[in-house]
């Protein structure tokens, strides 16, 4: 199984700051990676697919990059509504696997 490792596990930043979350795959997954945002008690929401493609309706301050084994999710200017937990997920092969999550908090 492909292991997905996210870092940091939590981050605290001020409104307007740039936030970067990293995700590392245990083997080459090309660009087969998605990112999700999850608020407490809610289902995850798709942000990014194919490593860098923005899902329809997602604000442009979210962006994804990377390929192979190393990926990043960037929030260019953190907003209060971005306080949530973020997960990466590899879509390269079964079983589909997720990173452990990164909790983003507002200072």
Partner 1 sequence: QVHLVQSGAEVKKPGASVKISCKSSGYSFTSYYMHWVRQAPGQGLEWMGIINPSGGSKSYARKFQGRVTMTRDTSTSTVYMELSSLTSEDTAVYFCARDGGNIEARPRDYFDYWGQGTLVTVSS
Residue 55 interacts with partner 1 (CB under 8 A): yes or no: yes
From the list 13-21, 40-48, 63-71, 75-83, the region that binds partner 1 by CB under 8 A is 40-48
Q: What is the 8-class DSSP label of residue 82?
A: G
86 near partner 1, rule: CB under 8 A:
no
Q: Which backbone phi and psi does 82 adopt, to 5 degrees?
A: -85, -5
Q: Is 32 in the site for partner 1 (CB under 8 A)?
A: yes
Compute how many other C-beta atoms are within 10 angstroms of the C-beta atom of residue 100: 14
Specify the length of the chain in residues: 107
When asked if residue 66 is in the footprint of partner 1 (CB under 8 A), the reply is: no
């Amino acid at each position: 199984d492909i292991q997905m490792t996210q870092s940091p596990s939590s981050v605290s930043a001020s409104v307007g700051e740039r936030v970067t979350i990293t995700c590392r795959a245990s083997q080459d997954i090309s660009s087969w990676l998605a990112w999700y945002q999850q608020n407490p008690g809610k289902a995850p929401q798709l942000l990014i697919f194919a490593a860098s493609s923005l899902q329809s309706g997602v604000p442009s301050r979210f962006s994804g990059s990377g390929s192979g084994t190393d990926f990043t999710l960037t929030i260019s200017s953190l907003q209060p509504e971005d306080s949530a937990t973020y997960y990466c997920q590899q879509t390269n092969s079964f079983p589909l696997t997720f990173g452990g999550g990164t909790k983003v908090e507002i200072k």
